[in-house]
A and B are shown apart, each in its own frame.
Chain A
Amino acid sequence: MTRASDLASSYDLVVIGGGPAGLAAAATAARAGLTTVLFDENPGVGGQIYRGITANPIRNRAILGDDYWAGAALAAEAKASGASIVTGATVWSLDRTLGVGVSIAGQARLIQARRVIIATGSLERPFAVPGWTLPGVMTAGAAQTALKAQGLVPNGRTVLAGSGPLLWLLAAQMLRAGARLEAVFDTTPRGNWLRAALHLPDFLLSPYLAKGLALVREVKAKVRVRPAREIAAVGTDKLREVVVDGRRIPADLLLLHQGVVPNVNTAIAAGVAHRWHARQLCFVPVLDADFQSSVPGIAVAGDGAGIAGGTAAAERGRIAAIAAVRALAPNARVPDPQGARQRLQREEMGRAFLDELYRPPVALRRPEGDTIVCRCEEVTAKQIRETARLGCEGPNQMKAFLRCGMGPCQGRLCGLTVTELIAEERGRTPGDVGYYRLRPPIKPITLAELASLPISEAERKAVER
């Protein structure tokens, strides 16, 4: 177990996040001779897709599927590369001077990097339906975390609702693990098929088609799947019923999911320029072909660069790491990135089809009335819409009026909803409205941790007169 005091004061490369992108990047860079450290806040590497890969309690490999276990090779490759893999390490600050603030077991350190690869992956898109903050309502991803890390499946009456490839994957994994699902409600709008069909030829050539069809078939064989337009969670103290298009279904657990979006917090806090991705309906960093961002020395790889899945993430990690090696050690031997680029292209081929098919409908992205949007500060859709109509032009001004996005989650649960609501009310594009300016710490730290930061003697003398 690496302690904070074991860390060097500087590294050639700091990789933030130990999913496929981070593991591949750290392995590539360390093998080429860069002093490399990878930080991941979880107890083990793998990210969400390969969560728990190095210490999984589940013996039956069929439950999580072959794609999951492919992560073990990546984890082993990173471990063998000579990179320092530090788990339980929360990166709470990254800035444009490539200073990295990290905490391990309550001890904080500042580290200087020469290059940084942000590989913080994705988050589930906000799914703010009435009652989503009730106990008994979770994201599907949270349920998957419990399954992968602890081998836990829910034992009450469980309802799954939403859309997207991961919804089907989770349903299949839970059913294999013995969970009982009352129903799966598919909120994918039927009209999406028309727009998606334009991208069908590419999708037919991608590896997703056969896998996707097999998953859907597997789920439909075991559980009722119904189309749905409106979802609400009902209950006073906790979830009692799920109301779907007026029909009431008694339930103990509602799992919601409508796709994933890049986790932009680290990159935005570091000053990386972002743009609105109209097809994926989210903000993505502006990157070049090597995944280098607008901030010199900072690259963003993996799903944080735009959603493309785990296999693509690893290729992006390799490409970003090769660029870092070439910049810092021109004579070091690295693989030609061309191979990774070709594999990446193949992975990305079916993405447009999936994006269009699983595009969440407006009604489930832009709530109305008393539905909570910002959970930390309990701000409703109505408040945000009214404040926008009164002239508030962006999420940062909105913070000052309603405090939305100012709680401990730093906008992770509400950012996109707030941007979309303001854009709708003011008749502008989400890109024009923009996103929260995010302030460090990217993850909250305690006053005690901050006080634990070693301070140079010069700094102490300079400020204590």
Chain B
Amino acid sequence: MTRTGDVVVIGGGIHGCSTALHLALRGLKPILVEKDYAGRHASGVNAGGVRQLARDIAEIPLSISSMELWEHVQELVGDDCGFTAHGTVLVAESDAELASFKARVDDLRLRGFTHEELIGRDELKRLVPAVSDHCPGGVVSRRDGAADPFRSTQAFRKRAIEKGATVLEGVTVTGLARVGEVWRVETSDGAIEAPKVVNAAGAWADRIAAMLGEPVPLEVIAPMLMVTSRLPAFIRPVVILRGRKLSFKQLDNGTVVIGGGHLATPYRDRNETVIDWEKLSLSARTVWELFPVMRQATIVRAWAGIEASMPDGIPVVGPSGTSEGVYHQFGFSAHGFQLGPGTGAMMAELVATGATNVPIDGLDIGRFRSRFGDRIR
């Protein structure tokens, strides 16, 4: 049996689910294909940071558009997704670091972005009383926050289905070919034909791109996280560092999620990761120094989600360079969760109308063409 639809969305992460939802909201009939289940990988097990702070200039418009959707996520998907907005604070550990943060904030102001705000020692202490005294200040993005990643991804999936999307889970894409006016997507559960395809396959997106003769230098990564047992509430914003890798957040239930980008070894063909405890030990030492209150905390779990990272650390978003009707939405390089709602809305607009109002300059797949050669067959 060959299924037919308007758009095949490959990948059931927050991006694929969001794109499917927004396509359905536009009256199109998307068919989402997910090899495991929605939110199985990075989208379901990331730190849950909903952050505009410290983003690459090229993705700030997407991030800002996404933030508006997060702030109204209940209306969008019928679930609050556990979203809370207590801000994100980038903590400076030295005066030199604070000076570099100031330069960045000033640069953003010149470009018209005001979401990042420089703060001194007093405001830092007010926002994050538990932080160690050696920190002279930082940057805050006050509308930022955090959400429950698996619940969010599932909520987008559920609402997409309610709005008419088909979601096929446990189904793997095995081939992709242009047949006349449509794309024929071969899967482990039969073929699907549709005029448009969105590649939101995360850590597996390079394989989809390769089927189009469009190789990309995607690196499979697995950023590690660990969580503590419950502690008395002591911190509300998400805290991140620049010099040392750390992100730090206390959930409403008192557990503290510690991340920051140290990597596990991914085995993407087995859906497995192997934790690098030496690197997590570095995170533990950083927390030890920054938050003395945490010293006797117990680590209950460590894990890593498999995802895609690009050499320049920003995603691939936009039309394929080789294949009419195919669009890419992958490579979010360990910071794609917040971008999911907005990028899905932008992608649905792009697919449906051929253009979008949200600037995505600099995210085109074409930026890798010179390195990898045009149209390798």
Contact = CB atoms under 8 A, between A and B. Distances in A.
Interface of A: 93, 95-97, 99, 101, 108, 110, 271, 393, 397, 400-401, 403, 406-408, 410, 439-441, 444-448, 450-453, 455-456, 459-460, 463-464
A271 B280 CA distance: 20
B1 interface: no
Given A400-B148, A464-B244, A451 B281 contact: yes
Contacts of B284: 447-448, 450-451, 453
A456 B303 CA distance: 22
A441 B285 contact: no
Contacts of A448: 284, 288, 295-296
Given A447-B284, A447-B288, A440 B302 contact: yes
B43 to A, nearest CB: 11
A464 B275 CA distance: 18
A366 B277 CA distance: 37
Contact of A444 (B148, B281, B299): B299
B154 interface: yes
Nearest to B287: A447
Nearest to B40: A396
A445 B296 CA distance: 10
A408 B299 CA distance: 9
Given A408-B300, A439-B302, A446-B296, A456 B277 contact: no
The 3 closest A-B pairs by CB, nearest first: A400-B150, A453-B281, A450-B284
Interface string B271-305: 01011011111101101100000111111111100
B279 A463 contact: yes
Contact of A447 (B37, B262, B294): B294
B299 A441 contact: yes
Given A96-B272, A447-B287, A450-B284, A407 B300 contact: yes
B294 A95 contact: no
Nearest to A451: B284
29 contacts: A93-B277, A95-B274, A97-B274, A99-B274, A110-B277, A110-B278, A397-B37, A397-B154, A400-B39, A400-B44, A400-B148, A400-B154, A439-B301, A439-B302, A441-B300, A441-B302, A447-B295, A447-B296, A447-B298, A448-B284, A448-B295, A450-B280, A450-B299, A451-B284, A451-B288, A455-B281, A463-B262, A463-B279, A463-B282
A440 B225 CA distance: 11
B277 A453 contact: yes
Contacts, number: 99
Nearest to B169: A393
Contact of B285 (A99, A408, A451): A451
Contacts of B102: none
A406 B255 CA distance: 11
Most buried by A among B277, B285, B302: B277
Interface string B301-332: 11100000000000000000000000000000
Given A93-B277, A110-B277, A446 B285 contact: no
B228 interface: yes
B291 to A, nearest CB: 9
B293 to A, nearest CB: 11
Contacts of A463: 245, 262, 279, 282
A88 B302 CA distance: 23
Q: Looking at B150, B272, B295, B298, which has the most chain A CB atoms within 10 Å of its CB?
A: B298
A448 B135 CA distance: 22
B151 interface: yes
B229 interface: yes
A406 B299 CA distance: 12
B295 A439 contact: no
B299 A445 contact: yes
Contact of B297 (A99, A446, A460): A446
A461 to B, nearest CB: 11
Interface string B124-154: 0000000000000000000000001011001
B161 to A, nearest CB: 10
Contacts of B300: 406-408, 410, 441, 444
Interface in B1-60: 37, 39, 44
A320 B281 CA distance: 33
A296 to B, nearest CB: 13
A271 B272 contact: yes
A299 B335 CA distance: 39
Interface in B171-187: none
